[in-house]
Amino acid sequence: MNKRMNSIIQGALILTIAGIISKILSAFYRIPIQNLTGDLGFYLYQQIYPFIAIVIILTLYSFPAAISQMGAALGHKKHDRRFFLLPNLLLYFLLMA
């Protein structure tokens, strides 16, 4: 039990350090954006960024999980898989671009 607790604490520590590094890096990107776009451009970016983040999260996590679940439901039918994978792959690339 003690070994499991140590691994949980170690994982939480790694996530905390990664979060702190992420916050530090996010503070540095704001300076060039504001210098390039000015106050109005930076304001607009801050207003739009939450929506962009939601779309990125959906495309990175939700869509691949849904596509893999639907693909697993097809089984080993090669004909159905070919007509399933290509359109989904193209759609995924369009969403990520």
pLDDT tens across the length of the chain (97 residues)? 677 777 778 888 888 888 888 788 777 777 787 888 888 888 888 888 888 888 877 777 777 787 777 777 776 766 666 677 778 778 777 776 6
Q: What is the number of structural domains in the chain?
A: 1
Give the residue numbers spanning the domain of 64: 2-96
pLDDT in tens, 58-79: 777 777 787 777 777 776 766 6
Contact 29, 57 (CB under 8 A): no
